[in-house]
Structure 1
Amino acid sequence: MTERTTPSRPTIDTEPGAVSTAEQFQNQTLRPILKMLDNSLLTCWSHHWPKRKIRFDRLSKPDKLAQLERAVREDTKLRLTLVGMVLGHFTPEEWSTFMAEEPEITRRMLALLIQRLQSHVHE
C-alpha cells in the first residue's frame, strides 16, 4: 500500500492546552479542513436552498441563521453531504482517531460547519 500524502491544509492558530482528544482533533484537523473547504461548503449550501424552495434571500439575518442551522441539523441529505466532504480529507490516522471518538467529533464538526456557513450570512 502506498502512503497517501495530505494536501496542504491551512494552519490555524489555536490556544494551546486542548485537554481532550476530541478538542485536539477539532483544532488540528477539523478547523484546517473546514477552512480549506470554505468555498466548496458555501457552494454546496448555495445549491441546497433553492432545491428546497427556501426563500432564503428574502429572510432577515436572524431567520437566515436559524434556517441554516435547522437545515444542517434536520436535512439528512445536506448534513451527510457536508460531513462527507470533510471526512474525505481525513488521513488514515485521522480516521482512527475519528472512529474512536465519533459521537463527540461529529457533534463538534456539525457545530463548526454551521458556524462557518453562518459567517457568510449577510442582510
Structure 2
Amino acid sequence: MDSKKISIRPTLNLSSSIPIEDFQNRTLRPILKLQNELILQLFMFFCAKQKIDILNQKKEKFNNTVNTITRKNSAFRNQLLGLIIGQFTVEEFEFYKLNNSELNKRIITMIGQRIEDNQSEI
C-alpha cells in the first residue's frame, strides 16, 4: 500500500541534509502538489459556508484572510492537516510523530502559501 501512495505523488528533485527539511522536500511538497486542487476546493467550500467573500478581495486582504483562516480556525486547520497526513506512509508517519509540532507549522505555512499563490483560480 505504501508504494502505491508514493507512486501517485509528483516527483520533485529536492533534497536537504537537515532531516526536517528533507522530509519537507521529499514528502510534504509532493503531497501538497498532489492535493493542491482539493486544498483549494476545501478552502472555497469553507469560505462559502462561513459566508466569507473572498472573490472580490484585493491581494493583501486575501492573504490576510487566508492567514487568519488557516492559522486561527483550529477545525479547518485540522482538516487541512488531515488531507496531508492521510497521504503519509507508515514510515513517514513515524517520522511525523517525532516532529509533529514543527511539521504542522510547515504544512500550514505551505498550504497558506499555495492558497495565496492560487488566488486567481479561486
User: TM-score normalised to the size of structure 1?
Assistant: 0.89
Give the deviation of 1:58 after TM superposition.
2.2
What is the match of residue 41 of structure 2?
43
Contact 1:6/1:91 (8 A) holds in 2: no
Contact 1:69/1:114 (8 A) holds in 2: yes
Tell whether 2:12 aligns with 1:12: yes
1:4-83 → structure 2 map (5 Å cutoff): 4-7=2-5, 8-14=8-14, 16=15, 18-83=16-81
Are the structure 2 counterparts of residues 28 and 4 from structure 1 closer, same or farther at C-alpha, using a change threshold of 3 Å? Answer: closer
Per mean C-alpha deviation after superposition, the further-off stretch among 45-54 and 24-33 is: 45-54
1:79-90 → structure 2 map (5 Å cutoff): 79-90=77-88
What is the match of residue 102 of structure 2?
104
Q: Which runs of 5+ in 1 are unaligned?
A: none
RMSD value over aligned CA atoms?
Answer: 1.6
Contact 1:42/1:117 (8 A) holds in 2: yes
Number of aligned positions between the proteins: 119
Q: What secondary structure is seen at the aligned counterpart in 1 of 2:66?
A: helix
CA distance in 2, matches of 1:73, 1:32: 22
Contact 1:9/1:36 (8 A) holds in 2: yes
User: Greater helix percent: which structure?
Assistant: 2
Higher RCO (C-alpha 8 Å, min separation 6): 1
CA distance in 2, matches of 1:104, 1:19: 17
Runs of 4+ in 1 over 6 A off after TM superposition: none
> Residue type matched to 1:102 in 2?
N
CA distance in 2, matches of 1:75, 1:104: 18
Identity of counterpart residues, as a percentage?
A: 27
